[in-house]
Structure 1
Protein backbone atom coordinates (compact mmCIF):
# COMPACT_ATOMS: atom_id res chain seq x y z
CA UNK A 1 0.00 0.00 0.00
CA UNK A 2 2.81 2.40 0.78
CA UNK A 3 4.29 2.04 -2.70
CA UNK A 4 0.88 2.51 -4.31
CA UNK A 5 0.14 5.61 -2.23
CA UNK A 6 3.50 7.19 -3.12
CA UNK A 7 2.65 6.84 -6.81
CA UNK A 8 0.12 9.65 -6.35
CA UNK A 9 0.92 11.52 -3.14
CA UNK A 10 4.65 11.37 -3.82
CA UNK A 11 4.51 12.78 -7.36
CA UNK A 12 6.19 16.04 -6.23
CA UNK A 13 8.57 14.57 -3.66
CA UNK A 14 12.01 16.20 -3.95
CA UNK A 15 10.98 18.07 -7.11
CA UNK A 16 12.27 21.65 -7.39
CA UNK A 17 9.33 24.06 -7.59
CA UNK A 18 9.88 27.78 -8.29
CA UNK A 19 6.91 30.01 -7.46
CA UNK A 20 7.13 33.56 -8.82
CA UNK A 21 4.69 35.60 -6.77
CA UNK A 22 4.85 33.16 -3.89
CA UNK A 23 4.93 35.64 -1.02
CA UNK A 24 1.17 36.05 -0.63
CA UNK A 25 -2.24 34.99 -1.88
CA UNK A 26 -2.50 32.12 -4.33
CA UNK A 27 1.26 31.85 -4.79
CA UNK A 28 1.79 31.46 -1.06
CA UNK A 29 -0.88 28.74 -0.92
CA UNK A 30 0.87 26.92 -3.79
CA UNK A 31 4.10 27.11 -1.78
CA UNK A 32 2.33 25.58 1.22
CA UNK A 33 0.86 22.81 -0.91
CA UNK A 34 4.19 22.03 -2.55
CA UNK A 35 5.87 21.77 0.84
CA UNK A 36 3.13 19.44 2.05
CA UNK A 37 3.96 17.28 -0.96
CA UNK A 38 7.63 17.30 0.12
CA UNK A 39 8.86 19.38 -2.79
CA UNK A 40 11.90 21.66 -2.68
CA UNK A 41 10.37 25.16 -2.85
CA UNK A 42 11.77 28.50 -3.96
CA UNK A 43 9.53 31.56 -3.64
CA UNK A 44 10.25 34.77 -5.53
CA UNK A 45 8.69 38.18 -4.96
CA UNK A 46 9.35 41.86 -5.50
CA UNK A 47 9.17 42.99 -1.88
CA UNK A 48 12.07 41.85 0.30
CA UNK A 49 10.16 42.34 3.56
CA UNK A 50 7.16 40.33 2.34
CA UNK A 51 9.55 37.68 1.03
CA UNK A 52 11.31 37.33 4.37
CA UNK A 53 7.99 37.19 6.21
CA UNK A 54 6.63 34.55 3.82
CA UNK A 55 9.67 32.32 4.19
CA UNK A 56 9.52 32.68 7.98
CA UNK A 57 5.83 31.77 8.05
CA UNK A 58 6.37 28.76 5.81
CA UNK A 59 9.25 27.50 7.93
CA UNK A 60 7.13 27.90 11.05
CA UNK A 61 4.20 26.01 9.51
CA UNK A 62 6.33 23.28 7.88
CA UNK A 63 9.50 22.89 9.97
CA UNK A 64 10.42 19.41 8.75
CA UNK A 65 9.52 19.94 5.07
CA UNK A 66 11.42 23.23 4.93
CA UNK A 67 14.56 22.19 6.77
CA UNK A 68 18.02 22.77 5.34
CA UNK A 69 17.86 24.08 1.78
CA UNK A 70 14.37 22.75 1.01
CA UNK A 71 12.87 26.24 1.23
CA UNK A 72 14.43 29.51 0.08
CA UNK A 73 13.46 32.89 -1.29
CA UNK A 74 14.77 35.46 -3.76
CA UNK A 75 13.60 38.91 -4.81
CA UNK A 76 12.84 39.97 -8.37
CA UNK A 77 11.16 43.11 -9.70
CA UNK A 78 9.23 42.04 -12.79
CA UNK A 79 8.49 45.67 -13.65
CA UNK A 80 12.20 46.49 -14.04
CA UNK A 81 12.23 46.07 -17.80
CA UNK A 82 15.85 47.17 -18.35
CA UNK A 83 17.19 44.43 -16.06
CA UNK A 84 14.44 41.85 -16.54
CA UNK A 85 16.43 39.32 -18.60
CA UNK A 86 19.38 39.42 -16.19
CA UNK A 87 17.13 39.21 -13.15
CA UNK A 88 15.13 36.31 -14.58
CA UNK A 89 18.30 34.34 -15.29
CA UNK A 90 19.55 35.04 -11.77
CA UNK A 91 16.31 33.73 -10.25
CA UNK A 92 16.39 30.60 -12.40
CA UNK A 93 20.05 29.95 -11.56
CA UNK A 94 19.30 30.43 -7.85
CA UNK A 95 16.35 28.04 -8.01
CA UNK A 96 18.26 25.39 -9.96
CA UNK A 97 21.11 25.57 -7.44
CA UNK A 98 23.51 23.62 -9.61
CA UNK A 99 20.86 21.09 -10.63
CA UNK A 100 17.60 21.50 -12.57
CA UNK A 101 14.16 23.00 -11.90
CA UNK A 102 11.14 20.73 -12.30
CA UNK A 103 8.18 23.09 -12.08
CA UNK A 104 7.71 26.84 -12.47
CA UNK A 105 4.52 28.53 -11.27
CA UNK A 106 3.93 32.22 -12.01
CA UNK A 107 1.16 33.92 -10.06
CA UNK A 108 2.72 37.40 -9.92
CA UNK A 109 0.37 40.23 -10.85
CA UNK A 110 0.20 44.00 -10.57
CA UNK A 111 -2.07 44.01 -7.54
CA UNK A 112 -3.37 47.53 -7.85
CA UNK A 113 -6.82 48.86 -6.89
CA UNK A 114 -9.65 48.06 -9.33
CA UNK A 115 -8.55 48.86 -12.88
CA UNK A 116 -9.06 52.45 -14.06
CA UNK A 117 -11.94 53.19 -16.36
CA UNK A 118 -11.27 53.40 -20.08
CA UNK A 119 -11.18 57.19 -19.82
CA UNK A 120 -8.59 57.09 -17.01
CA UNK A 121 -6.01 54.66 -18.35
CA UNK A 122 -2.51 55.89 -19.14
CA UNK A 123 0.26 54.49 -21.31
CA UNK A 124 2.43 54.12 -18.21
CA UNK A 125 -0.13 52.02 -16.32
CA UNK A 126 -0.65 49.76 -19.33
CA UNK A 127 3.09 49.27 -19.78
CA UNK A 128 3.59 48.23 -16.15
CA UNK A 129 0.76 45.71 -16.31
CA UNK A 130 2.13 44.34 -19.57
CA UNK A 131 5.59 43.84 -18.10
CA UNK A 132 4.36 41.88 -15.11
CA UNK A 133 1.54 39.85 -16.60
CA UNK A 134 2.84 39.14 -20.11
CA UNK A 135 6.46 40.10 -20.79
CA UNK A 136 7.96 38.58 -17.63
CA UNK A 137 6.42 35.09 -18.12
CA UNK A 138 7.61 35.14 -21.73
CA UNK A 139 11.18 35.99 -20.66
CA UNK A 140 11.08 33.21 -18.06
CA UNK A 141 10.04 30.80 -20.81
CA UNK A 142 12.88 32.03 -23.03
CA UNK A 143 15.56 31.11 -20.49
CA UNK A 144 13.96 28.00 -18.98
CA UNK A 145 15.68 25.43 -21.25
CA UNK A 146 19.03 26.28 -19.63
CA UNK A 147 17.69 25.38 -16.19
CA UNK A 148 14.92 22.84 -16.82
CA UNK A 149 14.84 19.61 -18.81
CA UNK A 150 12.22 19.75 -21.57
CA UNK A 151 10.39 16.58 -20.58
CA UNK A 152 6.74 15.90 -19.86
CA UNK A 153 7.46 15.28 -16.19
CA UNK A 154 8.20 19.01 -15.83
CA UNK A 155 5.83 21.94 -16.19
CA UNK A 156 5.24 25.67 -16.38
CA UNK A 157 1.97 27.06 -15.05
CA UNK A 158 0.92 30.64 -15.76
CA UNK A 159 -2.03 32.62 -14.37
CA UNK A 160 -4.81 34.54 -16.10
CA UNK A 161 -8.26 35.29 -14.67
CA UNK A 162 -11.98 34.81 -15.20
CA UNK A 163 -12.42 38.45 -16.22
CA UNK A 164 -10.69 37.55 -19.47
CA UNK A 165 -13.72 35.44 -20.39
CA UNK A 166 -16.49 37.37 -18.66
CA UNK A 167 -15.43 41.00 -18.18
CA UNK A 168 -17.16 43.29 -15.76
CA UNK A 169 -17.59 46.98 -16.64
CA UNK A 170 -14.32 48.90 -16.41
CA UNK A 171 -11.96 46.01 -17.17
CA UNK A 172 -10.99 46.95 -20.73
CA UNK A 173 -7.53 48.00 -19.55
CA UNK A 174 -6.81 44.58 -18.04
CA UNK A 175 -8.60 41.78 -19.86
CA UNK A 176 -6.42 41.96 -22.97
CA UNK A 177 -3.44 40.77 -20.94
CA UNK A 178 -5.44 37.92 -19.39
CA UNK A 179 -6.36 36.68 -22.84
CA UNK A 180 -2.83 37.25 -24.10
CA UNK A 181 -1.38 35.01 -21.39
CA UNK A 182 -3.72 32.18 -22.39
CA UNK A 183 -2.88 32.54 -26.07
CA UNK A 184 0.85 32.79 -25.35
CA UNK A 185 0.62 29.61 -23.26
CA UNK A 186 -0.55 27.64 -26.29
CA UNK A 187 2.42 28.85 -28.31
CA UNK A 188 4.82 28.01 -25.49
CA UNK A 189 3.34 24.53 -25.16
CA UNK A 190 4.32 23.99 -28.80
CA UNK A 191 7.72 25.69 -28.66
CA UNK A 192 8.83 24.01 -25.43
CA UNK A 193 7.33 20.55 -26.02
CA UNK A 194 7.38 18.02 -24.48
CA UNK A 195 7.73 20.33 -21.46
CA UNK A 196 4.17 21.03 -20.39
CA UNK A 197 2.77 24.58 -20.28
CA UNK A 198 -0.67 25.44 -18.88
CA UNK A 199 -2.67 28.29 -17.36
CA UNK A 200 -4.86 28.52 -14.26
CA UNK A 201 -7.72 31.01 -14.62
CA UNK A 202 -9.10 31.89 -11.15
CA UNK A 203 -12.34 33.67 -10.41
CA UNK A 204 -12.94 35.96 -7.43
CA UNK A 205 -10.41 34.87 -4.81
CA UNK A 206 -10.14 36.44 -1.36
CA UNK A 207 -6.47 37.09 -0.63
CA UNK A 208 -4.82 39.39 1.91
CA UNK A 209 -4.31 42.05 -0.74
CA UNK A 210 -7.92 41.85 -1.90
CA UNK A 211 -9.14 42.22 1.69
CA UNK A 212 -7.10 45.39 2.08
CA UNK A 213 -8.29 46.78 -1.23
CA UNK A 214 -11.97 46.15 -0.50
CA UNK A 215 -11.72 47.67 2.98
CA UNK A 216 -15.21 48.76 4.07
CA UNK A 217 -16.72 47.19 0.93
CA UNK A 218 -15.49 43.72 1.90
CA UNK A 219 -18.79 42.34 3.26
CA UNK A 220 -20.77 43.61 0.29
CA UNK A 221 -18.25 42.16 -2.17
CA UNK A 222 -18.39 38.77 -0.45
CA UNK A 223 -22.17 38.67 -0.71
CA UNK A 224 -22.01 39.60 -4.39
CA UNK A 225 -19.39 36.91 -4.97
CA UNK A 226 -21.68 34.35 -3.34
CA UNK A 227 -24.54 35.41 -5.59
CA UNK A 228 -22.34 34.98 -8.66
CA UNK A 229 -21.07 31.58 -7.57
CA UNK A 230 -22.72 28.23 -8.18
CA UNK A 231 -20.97 26.91 -5.07
CA UNK A 232 -22.22 29.76 -2.88
CA UNK A 233 -18.89 31.28 -1.92
CA UNK A 234 -15.90 33.28 -3.07
CA UNK A 235 -12.67 31.41 -3.76
CA UNK A 236 -9.83 30.91 -1.32
CA UNK A 237 -6.12 30.66 -2.15
CA UNK A 238 -6.05 27.18 -0.62
CA UNK A 239 -8.78 25.94 -2.98
CA UNK A 240 -7.25 27.48 -6.08
CA UNK A 241 -3.82 26.09 -5.19
CA UNK A 242 -5.21 22.64 -5.93
CA UNK A 243 -5.43 23.59 -9.62
CA UNK A 244 -1.71 24.33 -9.75
CA UNK A 245 -0.94 21.05 -7.99
CA UNK A 246 -2.98 19.14 -10.55
CA UNK A 247 -1.22 20.76 -13.49
CA UNK A 248 2.17 19.95 -11.98
CA UNK A 249 1.24 16.33 -11.30
CA UNK A 250 -0.71 15.31 -14.41
CA UNK A 251 1.98 14.55 -17.00
CA UNK A 252 -0.58 14.29 -19.82
CA UNK A 253 -1.98 17.82 -19.67
CA UNK A 254 -0.52 20.71 -21.67
CA UNK A 255 -1.78 23.65 -23.66
CA UNK A 256 -4.76 23.87 -21.32
CA UNK A 257 -6.59 26.60 -19.41
CA UNK A 258 -7.90 25.25 -16.09
CA UNK A 259 -10.84 27.25 -14.75
CA UNK A 260 -11.40 27.55 -11.00
CA UNK A 261 -14.15 30.12 -10.50
CA UNK A 262 -17.09 28.57 -8.66
CA UNK A 263 -19.09 28.27 -11.86
CA UNK A 264 -18.90 31.99 -12.65
CA UNK A 265 -18.85 31.48 -16.41
CA UNK A 266 -22.03 29.40 -16.29
CA UNK A 267 -23.97 31.88 -14.17
CA UNK A 268 -25.75 35.04 -15.31
CA UNK A 269 -26.34 37.75 -12.72
CA UNK A 270 -28.07 41.05 -13.30
CA UNK A 271 -26.91 44.05 -11.31
CA UNK A 272 -23.69 45.60 -10.15
CA UNK A 273 -20.36 43.95 -10.82
CA UNK A 274 -17.56 43.29 -8.36
CA UNK A 275 -14.51 45.31 -9.35
CA UNK A 276 -11.49 43.92 -7.61
CA UNK A 277 -8.12 42.71 -8.81
CA UNK A 278 -7.92 39.11 -9.86
CA UNK A 279 -4.67 37.23 -9.23
Structure 2
Protein backbone atom coordinates (compact mmCIF):
# COMPACT_ATOMS: atom_id res chain seq x y z
CA UNK A 1 0.00 0.00 0.00
CA UNK A 2 1.41 3.38 -1.01
CA UNK A 3 0.99 6.86 0.47
CA UNK A 4 2.15 10.27 -0.77
CA UNK A 5 2.76 13.03 1.76
CA UNK A 6 3.22 16.44 0.19
CA UNK A 7 5.11 18.55 2.68
CA UNK A 8 6.47 15.45 4.37
CA UNK A 9 10.03 16.53 5.14
CA UNK A 10 9.52 18.43 8.42
CA UNK A 11 7.13 19.00 11.30
CA UNK A 12 3.73 17.39 11.10
CA UNK A 13 4.30 16.02 7.60
CA UNK A 14 7.47 14.23 8.67
CA UNK A 15 5.70 12.83 11.75
CA UNK A 16 2.98 11.47 9.47
CA UNK A 17 5.59 9.95 7.14
CA UNK A 18 7.31 8.28 10.08
CA UNK A 19 4.09 6.90 11.51
CA UNK A 20 2.72 5.57 8.20
CA UNK A 21 6.08 4.03 7.32
CA UNK A 22 6.06 2.31 10.70
CA UNK A 23 2.59 0.99 9.89
CA UNK A 24 3.95 -0.72 6.78
CA UNK A 25 3.01 1.76 4.03
CA UNK A 26 5.44 2.63 1.24
CA UNK A 27 5.65 6.40 1.72
CA UNK A 28 6.76 8.97 -0.83
CA UNK A 29 7.34 12.46 0.55
CA UNK A 30 7.67 15.68 -1.41
CA UNK A 31 9.14 19.03 -0.45
CA UNK A 32 10.98 22.03 -1.80
CA UNK A 33 14.06 22.10 0.45
CA UNK A 34 16.92 19.91 -0.88
CA UNK A 35 18.54 19.66 2.54
CA UNK A 36 15.39 18.39 4.21
CA UNK A 37 14.78 15.95 1.37
CA UNK A 38 18.29 14.58 1.72
CA UNK A 39 17.77 14.14 5.46
CA UNK A 40 14.67 11.96 5.05
CA UNK A 41 15.96 9.76 2.24
CA UNK A 42 16.49 6.31 3.67
CA UNK A 43 13.70 6.84 6.22
CA UNK A 44 10.93 6.59 3.61
CA UNK A 45 10.40 4.76 0.33
CA UNK A 46 11.08 7.86 -1.79
CA UNK A 47 11.63 11.62 -1.46
CA UNK A 48 11.13 13.99 -4.40
CA UNK A 49 11.64 17.71 -4.81
CA UNK A 50 8.37 19.36 -5.82
CA UNK A 51 6.84 22.83 -5.58
CA UNK A 52 3.14 22.33 -4.99
CA UNK A 53 2.27 25.75 -6.44
CA UNK A 54 3.55 24.86 -9.95
CA UNK A 55 0.69 22.97 -11.55
CA UNK A 56 2.68 21.55 -14.47
CA UNK A 57 5.21 20.02 -12.08
CA UNK A 58 2.46 18.62 -9.83
CA UNK A 59 0.67 17.08 -12.81
CA UNK A 60 3.89 15.55 -14.11
CA UNK A 61 4.74 14.12 -10.69
CA UNK A 62 1.41 12.36 -10.33
CA UNK A 63 1.51 11.14 -13.94
CA UNK A 64 4.89 9.49 -13.26
CA UNK A 65 3.69 8.04 -9.98
CA UNK A 66 0.50 6.46 -11.29
CA UNK A 67 -2.31 5.20 -9.04
CA UNK A 68 -1.69 4.98 -5.30
CA UNK A 69 -3.88 4.54 -2.23
CA UNK A 70 -3.48 7.50 0.15
CA UNK A 71 -2.68 11.20 -0.23
CA UNK A 72 -1.82 13.47 2.71
CA UNK A 73 -1.43 17.21 2.10
CA UNK A 74 0.68 18.79 4.81
CA UNK A 75 2.36 21.87 3.35
CA UNK A 76 1.28 25.41 4.03
CA UNK A 77 2.08 29.11 4.36
CA UNK A 78 4.91 30.51 6.43
CA UNK A 79 4.48 32.86 9.36
CA UNK A 80 3.74 35.65 6.87
CA UNK A 81 0.13 34.66 7.53
CA UNK A 82 0.28 36.35 10.93
CA UNK A 83 -0.91 39.85 10.02
CA UNK A 84 -3.93 42.08 10.44
CA UNK A 85 -6.08 42.61 7.37
CA UNK A 86 -5.01 46.29 7.24
CA UNK A 87 -1.37 45.29 6.94
CA UNK A 88 -1.84 42.57 4.31
CA UNK A 89 -0.60 43.59 0.89
CA UNK A 90 -1.94 41.72 -2.13
CA UNK A 91 1.44 40.02 -2.59
CA UNK A 92 1.61 38.96 1.04
CA UNK A 93 -1.94 37.62 0.88
CA UNK A 94 -1.06 35.57 -2.20
CA UNK A 95 1.98 34.16 -0.40
CA UNK A 96 -0.41 32.80 2.23
CA UNK A 97 -3.23 31.62 -0.02
CA UNK A 98 -1.40 30.05 -2.94
CA UNK A 99 0.83 27.46 -1.22
CA UNK A 100 -2.03 25.89 0.73
CA UNK A 101 -5.47 26.55 -0.77
CA UNK A 102 -4.35 26.59 -4.39
CA UNK A 103 -1.69 23.94 -3.81
CA UNK A 104 -3.97 21.47 -2.05
CA UNK A 105 -6.76 21.69 -4.60
CA UNK A 106 -4.29 21.42 -7.47
CA UNK A 107 -2.84 18.26 -5.94
CA UNK A 108 -6.28 16.75 -5.43
CA UNK A 109 -7.19 17.51 -9.03
CA UNK A 110 -4.17 15.67 -10.44
CA UNK A 111 -3.54 12.85 -7.95
CA UNK A 112 -4.57 9.38 -9.10
CA UNK A 113 -5.52 8.39 -5.57
CA UNK A 114 -7.76 5.40 -4.95
CA UNK A 115 -8.28 5.24 -1.18
CA UNK A 116 -8.22 8.47 0.82
CA UNK A 117 -7.23 12.11 0.83
CA UNK A 118 -6.39 13.79 4.13
CA UNK A 119 -5.92 17.55 4.28
CA UNK A 120 -4.06 19.34 7.07
CA UNK A 121 -5.91 22.55 7.87
CA UNK A 122 -5.58 24.42 11.20
CA UNK A 123 -7.59 25.61 14.17
CA UNK A 124 -7.37 29.19 12.87
CA UNK A 125 -10.41 28.25 10.77
CA UNK A 126 -12.54 28.21 13.92
CA UNK A 127 -11.18 30.88 16.24
CA UNK A 128 -11.53 34.67 16.27
CA UNK A 129 -7.97 35.75 16.92
CA UNK A 130 -6.71 39.11 15.62
CA UNK A 131 -3.87 38.76 13.15
CA UNK A 132 -5.00 35.44 11.72
CA UNK A 133 -7.44 36.64 9.07
CA UNK A 134 -5.47 35.23 6.13
CA UNK A 135 -4.80 31.93 7.88
CA UNK A 136 -8.46 31.65 8.87
CA UNK A 137 -9.55 32.30 5.29
CA UNK A 138 -7.24 29.65 3.86
CA UNK A 139 -7.97 26.98 6.45
CA UNK A 140 -11.66 27.79 6.60
CA UNK A 141 -11.85 27.45 2.83
CA UNK A 142 -10.16 24.07 2.94
CA UNK A 143 -12.42 22.80 5.71
CA UNK A 144 -15.49 23.98 3.79
CA UNK A 145 -14.24 22.09 0.72
CA UNK A 146 -13.97 18.74 2.52
CA UNK A 147 -17.62 17.77 2.25
CA UNK A 148 -18.12 18.56 -1.47
CA UNK A 149 -14.80 16.89 -2.25
CA UNK A 150 -15.94 13.76 -0.39
CA UNK A 151 -19.03 13.64 -2.60
CA UNK A 152 -17.22 14.47 -5.85
CA UNK A 153 -14.39 11.97 -5.36
CA UNK A 154 -16.39 9.10 -3.85
CA UNK A 155 -15.63 6.27 -3.25
CA UNK A 156 -12.30 7.94 -2.40
CA UNK A 157 -12.64 9.24 1.16
CA UNK A 158 -11.79 12.89 1.90
CA UNK A 159 -11.20 14.21 5.42
CA UNK A 160 -9.22 16.92 7.18
CA UNK A 161 -7.25 17.09 10.39
CA UNK A 162 -7.31 20.52 12.03
CA UNK A 163 -4.40 20.99 14.45
CA UNK A 164 -4.19 23.61 17.14
CA UNK A 165 -0.85 25.03 18.30
CA UNK A 166 1.81 22.39 17.58
CA UNK A 167 5.47 22.68 18.58
CA UNK A 168 7.21 22.49 15.20
CA UNK A 169 9.83 24.43 13.26
CA UNK A 170 6.98 26.57 11.88
CA UNK A 171 7.50 28.70 15.00
CA UNK A 172 11.18 29.28 14.21
CA UNK A 173 10.30 32.67 12.74
CA UNK A 174 9.42 33.92 16.22
CA UNK A 175 11.93 34.87 18.88
CA UNK A 176 12.45 32.41 21.72
CA UNK A 177 10.63 34.79 24.06
CA UNK A 178 7.66 35.18 21.72
CA UNK A 179 7.41 31.44 21.19
CA UNK A 180 7.61 30.69 24.91
CA UNK A 181 4.92 33.28 25.65
CA UNK A 182 2.64 31.87 22.95
CA UNK A 183 3.07 28.30 24.16
CA UNK A 184 2.50 29.25 27.79
CA UNK A 185 -0.69 31.13 26.95
CA UNK A 186 -1.99 28.23 24.86
CA UNK A 187 -1.18 25.66 27.55
CA UNK A 188 -3.07 27.74 30.09
CA UNK A 189 -6.10 28.15 27.80
CA UNK A 190 -6.21 24.53 26.59
CA UNK A 191 -8.16 21.92 28.58
CA UNK A 192 -5.35 19.36 28.18
CA UNK A 193 -2.84 21.86 29.57
CA UNK A 194 -0.14 21.76 26.87
CA UNK A 195 0.65 22.58 23.28
CA UNK A 196 0.56 19.79 20.75
CA UNK A 197 3.34 17.59 19.39
CA UNK A 198 3.66 16.56 15.73
CA UNK A 199 2.88 12.94 16.57
CA UNK A 200 -0.44 13.98 18.15
CA UNK A 201 -1.52 15.06 14.68
CA UNK A 202 0.16 12.13 12.92
CA UNK A 203 -1.90 9.69 14.99
CA UNK A 204 -5.10 11.38 13.82
CA UNK A 205 -3.98 11.22 10.20
CA UNK A 206 -3.13 7.54 10.56
CA UNK A 207 -6.60 6.91 11.97
CA UNK A 208 -8.29 8.63 9.04
CA UNK A 209 -6.12 6.81 6.49
CA UNK A 210 -7.44 3.50 7.82
CA UNK A 211 -10.98 4.59 8.79
CA UNK A 212 -12.89 3.06 5.89
CA UNK A 213 -16.28 4.33 7.11
CA UNK A 214 -15.27 7.97 7.71
CA UNK A 215 -15.46 10.62 5.00
CA UNK A 216 -16.38 14.28 4.71
CA UNK A 217 -15.29 15.13 8.25
CA UNK A 218 -12.93 17.61 9.90
CA UNK A 219 -11.17 16.19 12.96
CA UNK A 220 -9.88 18.82 15.41
CA UNK A 221 -6.61 17.90 17.12
CA UNK A 222 -6.16 20.97 19.30
CA UNK A 223 -6.36 19.82 22.91
CA UNK A 224 -9.75 21.48 23.19
CA UNK A 225 -8.40 24.95 22.38
CA UNK A 226 -11.28 25.76 20.03
CA UNK A 227 -14.03 24.48 22.33
CA UNK A 228 -16.64 27.17 23.03
CA UNK A 229 -16.34 28.66 26.51
Question: Which of the five TM-score ranges fits, normalised by the shorter chain?
Answer: over 0.9
Normalized against structure 2, the TM-score is what? Answer: 0.93
Q: Which residue of 2 aligns with 1:137?
A: 104
Cα offset for 1:107?
0.8
User: Would you say how many aligned residue pairs link Structure 1 and Structure 2?
Assistant: 229
CA distance in 2, matches of 1:114, 1:214: 16
Contact in 1 for aligned 2:116/2:156 (Cα 8 Å): yes
CA distance in 2, matches of 1:177, 1:217: 24
Contact in 1 for aligned 2:9/2:30 (Cα 8 Å): yes
Q: 78, 81, 95: which is aligned to 1:128?
A: 95
Gaps of 5+ in 1: 1-14, 60-65, 269-279
CA distance in 2, matches of 1:95, 1:51: 18
CA distance in 1, matches of 2:222, 2:29: 25
Q: Which residue of 2 aligns with 1:256?
A: 217
- Cα gap change, 1:209/1:170 in structure 2, threshold over 3 Å: closer, same or farther? closer
Q: Which residue of 2 aligns with 1:148?
A: 113
Work out which of the two has the higher radius of gyration on C-alpha atoms and give 1 or 2: 1
Contact in 2 for aligned 1:113/1:213 (Cα 8 Å): no
Q: 44, 52, 68: which is aligned to 2:38?
A: 52
Contact in 1 for aligned 2:20/2:206 (Cα 8 Å): yes
What is the aligned-residue RMSD (CA, Å)? 1.6
Q: What does residue range 226-241 of structure 1 map to in structure 2 within 5 Å?
A: 226-241=187-202
Matched, 1:76 2:88: no
Normalized against structure 1, the TM-score is what? Answer: 0.77
CA distance in 2, matches of 1:216, 1:91: 41
Cα offset for 1:222?
2.0
Q: 54, 67, 72: which is aligned to 1:105?
A: 72
Structure with the higher fraction of residues in strand conformation: 2
Paired residue secondary structure (2:155): coil
CA distance in 2, matches of 1:40, 1:31: 9
